Amino acid sequence: MVASEQTLLTSNQLDTLSINTIRTLAMDAVQLASSGHPGAPMGLAPTAYCLWQQFLRYDPADPVWPNRDRFILSNGHASMLLYALLHLTGVRGVNPEYEQEGEWAVTLDDIKHFRQIDSRTPGHPEYRLTPGVETTTGPLGQGVGNSVGMAIAGKWLREHFNRPGFEVFNYNVYAMCGDGDLMEGVASEAASLAGHLKLPNLCWIYDNNRVTLDGPADWSFTEDVGARFAAYGWNVTHVTDANDLNMLSNAYNNFLRANDRPTLIVVNSHIGYGAPHKQDTSAAHGEALGEDEIRLAKKFYSWPEDAHFLVPDGVRQHFQEGIGKRGQELRQEWEKQFAEYSKKYPELADQINRMQHRELPNGWDKNLPSFPADPKGVATRDSGGRVLNALAQNVPWMVGGSADLATSDRTRLKFDGAGDFQRGSYGGRNLHFGVREHGMAAALSGLSLCKIRPFGGTFFNFSDYMRPSIRLASIMEIPTIYIFTHDSIGLGEDGPTHEPIEQLAALRAMPGLMLLRPADANEVVEAWKVIMQLRDHPVALVLTRQAVPTFDRSKYGPASGVARGAYILADATEGKPDVILMGTGSEVSLCVEAYEQLKSQGIKARVVSMPSWDLFERQDEAYQRQVLPVEVKARVSVEAAATFGWSRYLGPTGIAIGMHRFGASAPIKDLLKKFGFTTEKVVAAAREAIARAKS
Pair 198, 263: CB distance under 8 Å? no
d(CA 584, CA 608): 9
Choose among 525, 293, 266: nearest CA to 387: 525
Task: Report the largest interatomic distance among the alpha carbons of the chain, rounded to a whole angstrom.
Answer: 96
Strands 263-268 and 655-659: unpaired
Say how many CA atoms lie within 13 Å of 66 toward its Cβ.
24
Q: Where are the alpha helices (DSSP H) in 120-201?
A: 142-161, 179-183, 185-197
Number of CB atoms found within 10 A of residue 562's CB: 26
Element (H, E) at 388: helix 380-394
DSSP state of 367: T
d(CA 689, CA 10): 84
Choose among 148, 245, 111, 12: nearest CA to 469: 148
Stated length of the chain: 695
Say how many CA atoms lie within 13 Å of 248 toward its Cβ.
23
d(CA 36, CA 625): 48
Residue type for position 558: P
Strands 453-459 and 398-402: parallel
For 97, phi and psi rounded to 5 degrees?
-90, 10
DSSP secondary structure letters along 659-675: ESS---SS-HHHHHHHT
d(CA 368, CA 440): 27
Q: Residue 363 to residues 390, 391, 400, 412, 562: CA-CA distances in angstroms?
A: 11, 10, 21, 22, 21
For 100, phi and psi rounded to 5 degrees?
-65, 140
The reply to whether 526 belongs to the active site is no
Choose among 205, 187, 191, 199: nearest CA to 266: 205
Q: Where are the alpha helices (DSSP H) in 176-286?
A: 179-183, 185-197, 225-232, 245-257
Number of CB atoms found within 10 A of residue 22's CB: 27
Query: Out of 134, 184, 437, 587, which one is annotated catalytic?
Result: 437
Q: Residue 227 to residues 193, 230, 625: CA-CA distances in angstroms?
A: 17, 5, 63
Q: Residue 410 to residues 28, 368, 387, 484, 509: CA-CA distances in angstroms?
A: 53, 16, 10, 10, 27
DSSP state of 564: G
Beta pairing partners, 267? 207, 239
d(CA 578, CA 574): 11
d(CA 407, CA 412): 7
d(CA 27, CA 41): 9
Pair 109, 408: CB distance under 8 Å? no
Express the helix, strand and coil content of the chain in percent, nearest 5 each: 45, 15, 40
Pair 688, 655: CB distance under 8 Å? yes
Active centre residues (catalytic): 437
